[in-house]
Amino acid sequence: MQIYPVLLLSFINRLPETPRWFIFHERQDDARDALVDIYGEGDAKEKFDELVQAHEDESSHSVGYSDMIWPSGSQFHQTAVTVMGQVNQALTGYGAVSVYGPQIFELLGFGVTEAEYLTEGNYISYFILMTFAWLLIDRVGRRILMIGGAFAISICFLILTVLGYLAMNSDNLGVPNLAVSIPGSVVLFIATAIFGIGWLSEVWLIPTEIYPSTSRAQGSAVSVVVWGIANFAVTLLTPIGFNNLRYWLFLVFAITNLFAGWWTWVSFSVSRNPQEKSADVANLGVFARDWRENFRGESAILRRCQGTKQLACEQGQRWRVQAHAQRRERRWPGRRDRSTIRWWILKTISTT
């Protein structure tokens, strides 16, 4: 268990410092050196100018925790997205799967030793397959991965509910144990891989990308606190659920995944009228539509900005969208970005 921390410590001194943090603390020379380490001499100056401009645009707005937690605050919507992202990640049930993996495999009909080996194998495949998120998270986008992942995990848990019933009643039904336990383990492996790709890292990226520099640290702190509370609640209630609900607990997780997918779909969707400001937050159950449009604009940064027609966010980051579009145009003149087409398709679907 100590091998990975030792390897991490041996390489951590090679990681560059954070340029944005240097600029925030007026250490310009250190910021330039860090950008050279990251991007090289060619792009470092352009990146430095962008970060300095961002700092000037955002530093004029002082943000405190009161602006984040009260509905009237300037960062309340961002905080709500951050909080619900962590809550929904906990509702996927994978805090329970990570902690109680052996018990789940035993419920599917395996012995104690086999269940422990399968749990280890599940962790290994989880570690390998979640690296696909590196390839997909910017190309596909946070929203698609989270929504698709939640609904796919929900289907897996529905299948596990049926298989759990067959495993616990195999003697009465005359069903061989392996005919249930093997498909059940395969489904659980698939669900774990989907979680690693669709939900593991996305909820951690969002608070670092939707807050301005002046409140990014506070937003990340809120995210960590909510993550701890939400996962504590799920892992505390899971053994109680297994003792009382047994395989029906899979059905509970299927429902909570449907809620997580639905909430993400609604809260990240696009309104018909970007200037609409009359939407009722309480009636929508999430956020006013004009803010959702702004979040989509900010998500353009998350999904490679998607061309010059994409909306820019309201928090001093319009320059980032424009600069990214200009760089893409210089690199690929006249090329139509496929993600732009995808964005218009998503907009059409989400507004019909």
Q: What is the CATH number of the domain that holds 103?
A: 1.20.1250.20
In a domain, 4, yes or no: no
What residues make up the domain containing 238? 69-267
Boundary (domain end) residue, out of 220, 237, 267 = 267
What is the pLDDT at residue 191? 94
3-state class (DSSP) for residue 288: coil
In a domain, 285, yes or no: yes
Q: Is the domain of 220 the same as that of 303?
A: no
What is the pLDDT at residue 57? 67
User: Which residues of the chain have a pLDDT value below 70?
Assistant: 1, 57-62, 269-352
Q: What DSSP character marks residue 259?
A: H
Q: How many independent structural domains does the chain possess? A: 3
What is the pLDDT at residue 310? 40
What is the pLDDT at residue 309? 37
Closest CA to 93 of 267, 242, 264, 268: 242
Alpha carbon separation from 20 to 26, 227, 273 (Å, rounded): 10, 25, 34
Q: Is the domain of 44 the same as that of 116?
A: no
In a domain, 80, yes or no: yes
Q: Is the domain of 55 the same as that of 77?
A: no
Token pair, residue 82, equals 């951050």
- What digits encode the pLDDT tens for the residues 319-350? 555 555 566 556 555 554 444 444 444 444 44
What is the number of alpha carbons within 13 Å of residue 303 lying toward its C-beta? 26
CA distance 32 to 39: 10
Q: Is the domain of 167 the same as that of 215?
A: yes
SS3 content of the chain, % helix, strand, coil (to 5): 75, 0, 25
Confirm if 79 and 222 have CB atoms less than 8 A apart.
Answer: yes
Closest CA to 264 of 294, 238, 301, 295: 295
- Backbone phi, psi, residue 311, to 5°: -70, 145
What is the pLDDT at residue 87? 93
Q: Where are the beta strands (DSSP E) in 296-343?
A: none
Closest CA to 321 of 304, 340, 336: 304
> Counting beta carbons within 10 angstroms of the beta carbon of residue 61, is it exposed (0 to 12), middle (13 to 18) or buried (19 or more)?
middle
Confirm if 277 and 109 have CB atoms less than 8 A apart.
Answer: no
What is the pLDDT at residue 328? 58
Token pair, residue 6, equals 């030792």
